[in-house]
Chains A and B, each alone.
Chain A
Amino acid sequence: MSTDTFQPIASRPPPESQLGWKAWVRRSFFDGWGNTALTVFTLIALLLVVPPLVQWAVIYAIPDADNDACRAAHGIGACWGVVAEKGRLILFGRFPYEEQWRASLASLALVVLLVLSCLRALWRPALVVAWIGVLSLFFVLMRGGVFGLSPVETARWGGLPLTLLLSTVSLVLAFPLSILLALGRQSHLPAIRTLCVLFIELVRGVPLISVLFMASFILPLFMPQGTTIDVLARVLIGMTLFAAAYLAEVIRGGLQAVPKGQLEAAQSLGLSYWQTQRMIVLPQALRLVVPAMVNTFIGVFKDTSLVTIVSLYDLTGAVQLALGDADWRKFFLEGQLFVAALYFVACFAMSRYSVWLEQHLNTGTRRQ
């Protein structure tokens, strides 16, 4: 009898031709006629587009705020000096010049808090307190009138602080509202369900701009006689209602993903409706939709640019305002590109964060 035991032979390495960067280049760029043609075509297109672009944006660009040099280089090189010249107007809009340290401090506080809120280690009740504190600080700094700060009316708020304010505050206010709407939409009570469905579908069926027009033209008519409502508050109300409808649909997705057995288990424990929602359903549902909520936040952040049309000067509006003067009118594109880059950095970071969250947040429930 043979005493041989099974000895696996080590697997052979792949052939030489499949290894190394040469093989990778061949595989991804030159395997077959079609792919080779595609590569060549793309390279030619890039060669036609990229060098002129680099010439314009880098080589012949004017980095200083020198209007004469910029005019001379117009059409040949970019005038990044416009950012240096008009930067503060773009970032802070019509906020009084000597008080702009307040606006920058307020924005900084809000940005730091937003970044900190992204860290999962800090997701605890103290964060809510921090939000309340920072938002109060933000309003105190921007509005003034206390602690010896000179008052600044909301109509003069603008630029980055306004964009941050509109997107965060409308979402913070929309969040509880959207939970109620999402629960209402899932409710067994027909009247409540119908009302929630009507609100959500109505708001989602019309463009944000019409909601903003409504907020700025019709909302003042709703006020009791003799009272007026601040334009910023009106726009905030409009944005909040709009964000709430979209967020409610996101949360509904989470609610529907919670297994029915969880509800039945809660009922058999004798929990009431609100106890069930608060302790069993919502924690699971919200956890599932955090990435989607980050995406909604990106959407709202981009949508704040629309307040320009109802004459508030957020980042998009402030750059229009800043480049209105005749000397720098020609370098509108450079200013716009600067603001676009700001938006891009913020939104891109948030979307990466959302992808990261998706991969790390719900690992417990996902099948591996």
Chain B
Amino acid sequence: MVQQPDSLSVSSRPPPKQRVWSWRSQAFRGTVYQIVALAVLLAAAAYLLHNTFANMRMRGIQSGFSFILQPAGFGIGESLLPFDSSNSYLYAYVVALSNTLRVALLGIVLATVLGTVIGIGRLSRNALVSTLCGAYVEITRNVPLLLQLFIWYFILTESLPPIEEAWQANGFFFSKNGLQFPLPVAELGAHLSTLGGTALGLVAAWWYARQARLRRESTGAMWPVWWPSVALVVGLTVLGWMAGGMHTEWDIPERTELNVVGGGSVTPEYLTVLLGLTIYTAGYIAEVVRAGIQSVPYGQHEAAASLGLSRAQELRLVLLPQALRVIIPPITSQYLNLTKNSSLAVAVGYPDLVSISSTSLNQTGRAIECIALVMACYLTMSLLTSAFMNFYNARARLKDR
């Protein structure tokens, strides 16, 4: 008779008894270190707070955020949102934030485009182009941004013609007073209809791309994706515009005796900050793009060619997905840097967050509150940007099985 092996018959030693507690255990020491660190920190904070309150009492500085709803009493040079001095400080901060975002978002887009072009240019086999792009990168990266901003500001405000003699082309006017440009006349219904068309086009393009992918995965047949998507977006936008009554009215700036009126306009301060940030950050982005492209081994190109992929397919299906994986994390930090660097706008007098905040600080004397507000705004922007880029990065990452 075969003895049934008893699954529990293997006598294992009982697990070593957990040592109950010791003065010399690592866990105990760790706890002590942490308690000491926290205690020292709290004591330091308490001391500094005590000093702060004593100083504030002595100098008669008021504290608290009660000022935030009082009228600001100062004007803001330029903004998308209407603002006058009777609006509250809170609203002034909102306007300032919108100004910061206005310059940072456009700067990110322009710097990405310019940086990508220059980064690819640096890898060109054309020695002229690659040398020029290399020089661009070295010059922009090795001179402080603040100095670059001062130089651009001087050029934009001193070397351009006065507004009476503004350079003119196709309804654009460029002078010491900034740039005036044509704007479509505001017509809410028509704009909404056009935008609705664009939105519809985006949804349709997404749906089409998904269908194409599903079909490719199930049958292997390749549908073109790029051109139909573009056609869908453009076509539906045009349809929406036509449905909205085909408004073609533009508000074109016109020259008068001493001025240029009408249309949209941006100040030289805005142009300076936008130009400076774009040119400076593009130098960094160019290096990121170059490193990303160089990180894809040459064998990938050869493999793609031997599979019979066209140059465009190779770029889209083989090279870009691999390069993007390397590019996205550093480019995210460049976007964050650009947003933070937009705070240098204060140096040329563009009313951004820091500039409005230091005006508020001078008027109310509440340094802690004003600086805390600015820091909170930038911190939120940083966290939101990195959250979005992390989400995008997770999609572009190598898919582990």
Contacts and interface: CB of A to CB of B under 8 A. Distances in A.
Interface string B355-386: 00010010000011001001100110011000
Contacts of B34: 189-192
B142 A351 contact: yes
A222 B51 contact: yes
Interface stretch (B145-153, B169-177, B213-221): B145-153
Interface stretch (B74-82, B184-192, B240-248, B343-351): B343-351
A320 interface: yes
A218 B375 contact: no
Interface residues of B, number: 54
Contacts of B154: 332-333, 336
Nearest to B48: A222
A224 B58 CA distance: 12
Interface stretch (A115-123, A153-161, A203-211, A277-285): A203-211
Interface stretch (B121-129, B203-211, B293-301, B323-331): B121-129
B392 interface: no
Contacts of A190: 34
Interface in A1-59: 27-29, 35, 38-39, 42-43
Interface in B31-87: 33-34, 37-38, 41, 48, 51-52, 54-56, 58
A257 interface: no
B144 interface: yes
Contact of B382 (A42, A75, A205, A308): A205
Given A332-B158, A337-B151, A306 B344 contact: yes
Nearest to A25: B127
B1 interface: no
Given A205-B383, A209-B354, A344-B143, A333 B151 contact: yes
A348 interface: yes
B30 interface: yes
B367 A217 contact: yes
A153 B182 CA distance: 55
Contacts of B361: 213, 217
A69 interface: no
A210 B375 contact: yes
B144 A316 contact: yes
A340 interface: yes
Given A340-B151, A343-B142, A344-B142, A38 B51 contact: no
B56 A214 contact: no
B54 A225 contact: yes
A224 B51 contact: yes
A298 B159 CA distance: 31
A75 B160 CA distance: 11
B378 A206 contact: yes
B371 A305 contact: no
B309 interface: no
A339 interface: yes
A85 interface: no
Interface in A73-131: 75
B331 to A, nearest CB: 17
B142 to A, nearest CB: 4
Interface string B215-232: 000000000000000000
B94 to A, nearest CB: 18
Interface residues of A, number: 54
A261 B56 CA distance: 54
A207 B125 contact: no
Interface string A179-219: 00000000011111001000000101111111001100110
Contact of B58 (A43, A225, A332): A225
B55 A333 contact: no
Given A222-B51, A309-B346, A302 B145 contact: yes
A221 B378 contact: no
Contacts of A320: 150
A305 B358 CA distance: 19
B143 A340 contact: yes
A340 B127 contact: no
B30 A188 contact: yes
A303 interface: yes
Nearest to B56: A221
A340 B152 CA distance: 13
A347 interface: yes
Given A29-B126, A189-B33, A316-B146, A210 B354 contact: yes
B55 A221 contact: yes
A358 B139 CA distance: 21
Nearest to B342: A207
B393 interface: no
Contact of B129 (A42, A217, A347, A351): A42
B109 interface: no
A194 to B, nearest CB: 10
B192 to A, nearest CB: 37
A337 B154 CA distance: 12
Which 6 residue pairs spanning A and B have beta carbons closest together? A347-B142, A217-B367, A191-B34, A207-B340, A207-B343, A305-B144
5 contacts: A43-B128, A223-B51, A225-B51, A340-B151, A347-B142
Interface of B: 30, 33-34, 37-38, 41, 48, 51-52, 54-56, 58, 124-129, 132, 138-139, 141-148, 150-151, 154-155, 158-159, 340-341, 343-344, 346-347, 354, 358, 361, 367-368, 371, 374-375, 378-379, 382-383
Given A205-B382, A309-B346, 15 more contacts: A42-B128, A42-B129, A42-B132, A195-B41, A205-B379, A206-B379, A210-B378, A217-B371, A218-B52, A218-B371, A306-B146, A309-B344, A336-B154, A339-B147, A351-B141
